[in-house]
Every structure is written in structure tokens, then in C-alpha cells.
Amino acid sequence: MKTQVAIIGAGPSGLLLGQLLQRQGIDNVILERKSGEYVLSRIRAGVLEQGMVDLLREAGVDERMDVEGLPHDGVELAFDNRRVRVDLAGLTGGKSVMVYGQTEVTRDLMAAREAVGGITLYEVDNVQPHDLETDSPDAKPYITFEKDGETHRLDCDYVAGCDGFHGVSRRSIPEGRIKEFERVYPFGWLGMLSDTPPVADELIYARHERGFALCSMRSAQRSRYYIQVALDEKVEGWSDERFWDELKRRLPEETAQALVTGPSIEKSIAPLRSFVVEPMQYGRLFLVGDAAHIVPPTGAKGLNLAASDVNTLYRLMVKVFKEGRTDLIPRYSDTCLKRIWKAERFSWWMTSMLHKFSDEDDFNSRMQQAELDYVTSSEAGLTTIAENYVGLPYESLE
């Protein structure tokens, strides 16, 4: 098999990159270790920045999003038994976010790829990139993989590693060629999905002495709630009743009283970490999304950062294949990292301001309180949150 761009990973970043390239006539093949059904079963975030919404429109997968998605012009911070609204649109010149589940984004991209005849190979094993970096100008990379018990070879010009934190792409880079930056947080998020109407029209980020809480949604009738828990907690220890009771304790009284409870559809616990690798490129391999960086979910940057990587790599590949601009290839990593570190800072800051870190750290608690008091009483502080939440502008390669 031969293609121009081999994409490892059929999550939303791999599918979005494939769809954008396909529409430009750039041939690509996607390899995915899991089944399509498994990919769609993963419950993930659902807040899309304006930049990602625009990119989905460019990819031609906006029809269902425009019908079912929920545009949000604001977000709320809750603390000291009160709620403060951050006017996203008013503070950023009309920008907003779209609440539309990552599962639905993936479903739309799968359907679009099938419609244009793009090749996606699911349930492939032992994926291994080769010859990613070579001194020979004529040598090109290739990927070996197993499908239905047979070994195959995929020759390509470039490889996009969109296979996540645990994927093979980053592990294919020799030791010493990249540097890792990481911070692991001493807590996780217990998330619950339920077919109940959201408690508010906009997301609520709550700081409480018992721990952080987030009220989110997937639609007008489906809610997604989170509470901060210790890393040693198990999902099995949290009944629906216990979850709802704890969530109510962490919300302002008026909000807790308005909460509509019901049976859970899904529960899961996710650890929190900040993680970045530099550079995001090795020879003809480009790391995209979670393969190169992880952010805490506070601030909703994970999927959106992957989309900004896709935007950079997509425009780079168009320049390479349409204009012969191979001189731009070395700029990929630096271009992506400029935006990534700003998003890492925002996610770290929001996490630090809203979570309970220790029962003994009274100083840190007072600093959190002072920070919240300042940013919610200052237009400059509110603007900082708004600008980062709707998404900073995409970086240009030139």
C-alpha cells in the first residue's frame, strides 16, 4: 500500500486531519488499533473553541453540530455560595464556545470519511513506523502493521501520530531526541453522565472546601457532572445517591436545590496531569494532540489543543504538496508549542485556583480565595479568563 500521509489513530484528531487532507486531494490512510465501535464508546469532553468550530466547518462536518450543538456566550465560577458569570462574548468581541460532545464530533467525522471513500483500517495490531529520519533524500518512511493475522506495509511521505498518550508514535522516537515536561496532580475527576436536564444554561466551575465540582452538559436533556476525588477512589464506591449528595454539597444552595437527579448512564474516574514533549517532530513524524501533550480538563483545552495541532499540520501539508514548501517542515513543532504552552498555563492556573490540594495548606486556600476575588471583580481578570476559554488565535507557520 502507498499513500501520501499515514495517520496513526482514528480518534477525532486523526479523523479531522484525514478529512481536511482528503478535501484538498491529499491522499491519506488512517490506522486504528481499536474497533470503530470502541472509539465511539469513549466518553470525552464536549466544549469546542471557536477555532475548532471553524475548522470543523472547513472540513464539511458542521451540519449536525449546527442543529444539535449548544452555543454558549458565558461560563460561571461558583464559590462562597455564589455564582459569578464570565461574559465570554461581551469580553472577547463576540466569540463563544460550542457544547457538542466529542463522541458526536467523532461520529460526524467517521460518516464524512466514509462518504468520500477515505481509507480507515480498524483493529490493526503491532503498528510500527520505520525510517522516520534518514540522510538519504530518496528514502521515505513506511509503517508495518498486522491486520487479520497478516503483516502489511504502508509506504508514505509523512506520518502523523494521532494515537494518544499511550500510542506508539511518541515511543518511536529514540531516547534523548525529545524532552518531557510533566506535572501529576494529587487528585482525579469522577464524572457522571445522566439523562437529566442541566442545572444551568451554562457551565459552572465550582470551588468548595470539600473539593472542586463542574456542572456541564451534552444536550438540553443530557448532563455531565464532575467532582474532585482522591486518586485511590474507585468508581464502585460511588453509588448514584452518594454522587448526587456530594455534588449538592459543593454547589451554591440555590443551585443545589434546582439540581434534577436521575440514574447514571456512565461513571468514570480520570487522573489529572500536565504533560508536554519538545519537539513534537522527529524526521517525517509529526506528533498531534495527546501524543504530544496532556492538559487537566479544567478549562476544556484537551480536544481543542489537538484541533490546533491538526490545523497547523494540515496547512503545512497543503504547502508541502501543493507548493513544494518543504522549508516550512521544521517550523511545525515551534508553531504548535507557542499555543500549547499558553493553554497549559491556563489549564494549570484554573486547576490551581479551583481544586482542594491539602487539608493542612491554609495559605494556599487563602491564595485561591484572593485569586478568585480578584479575577471576578476585575474586568481585566474576567477578560483573561474569557480570552483563554474561547481559545487564543491559531499560530501561523509564516
Separation in Å, CA 396 to CA 72, 95, 100, 336? 27, 20, 27, 9
390 in any annotated domain: no
* pLDDT score recorded for residue 41: 84
Closest CA to 277 of 346, 182, 397: 182
Q: Tell me the pairing of strands 158-161 and 285-287.
A: parallel
- The model's confidence at residue 134, banded by pLDDT at 50, 70 and 90, is confident
314: number of Cβ within 10 Å: 25
Percent of the chain's residues with pLDDT above 90:
92
Give the 3-state secondary structure of residue 86: strand
Q: Across the strands, what pairs with 2?
A: 155
pLDDT of residue 354 exceeding 70? yes
Which three three-digit cell numbers place residue 367? 491564595
| DSSP letter string, 311-380 | HHHHHHHHHHHHH--GGGGGGHHHHHHHHHHHHHHHHHHHHHHHS---SS-HHHHHHHHHHHHHHHH-HH
Which three three-digit cell numbers place residue 152? 502489511
> Residue 292, Cα to own-chain centre: how many angstroms?
12
Closest CA to 198 of 172, 177, 224, 178: 224
Closest CA to 225 of 190, 253, 252, 249: 190
Q: Across the strands, what pairs with 161?
A: 8, 287
Q: How many domains does the chain have?
A: 1
Q: Measured between alpha carbons, how far is 395 from 312 in angstroms, rounded to an integer? A: 8
Which three three-digit cell numbers place residue 94? 463576540
Separation in Å, CA 17 to CA 70, 73, 130, 247, 353? 24, 28, 21, 38, 34
Q: Measured between alpha carbons, how far is 330 from 397 in angstroms, rounded to an integer? A: 10
136 in any annotated domain: yes
pLDDT of residue 135 exceeding 70? no
Q: What is the pLDDT of residues 106-130, one digit of tens each?
A: 999 999 999 999 999 999 999 999 9
Q: Measured between alpha carbons, how far is 120 from 12 in angstroms, rounded to an integer? A: 13
- Residues marked active site are found at 72, 205, 297, 301, 389
29 in any annotated domain: yes
Q: Measured between alpha carbons, how far is 343 from 297 in angstroms, rounded to an integer? A: 11
* pLDDT score recorded for residue 235: 96
> What range does the domain containing 13 cover?
5-70+98-181+273-355
Average pLDDT over the chain, rounded to an integer: 95
Closest CA to 43 of 98, 105, 122, 97: 105
Q: What is the pLDDT of residues 157-215, one digit of tens each?
A: 999 999 999 999 999 999 999 999 999 999 999 999 999 999 999 999 999 999 999 99
CATH number at residue 279: 3.50.50.60
* pLDDT score recorded for residue 9: 97
138 in any annotated domain: yes
41 in any annotated domain: yes
Q: Full-prediction pTM beyond 0.85?
A: yes
Q: What is the dihedral of CA 336, 341, 344, 346, to 10 degrees?
A: -110
Which three three-digit cell numbers place residue 184? 501529576
Q: What is the pLDDT of residues 207-258, one digit of tens each?
A: 999 999 999 998 889 999 999 999 999 999 999 999 999 999 999 999 999 9
Q: Measured between alpha carbons, how far is 155 from 160 in angstroms, rounded to an integer? A: 13
386 in any annotated domain: no
12 in any annotated domain: yes
Closest CA to 263 of 283, 248, 243: 243
- The model's confidence at residue 398, banded by pLDDT at 50, 70 and 90, is confident
CB 284 within 8 A of CB 128: no
CB 344 within 8 A of CB 337: no
188 in any annotated domain: no
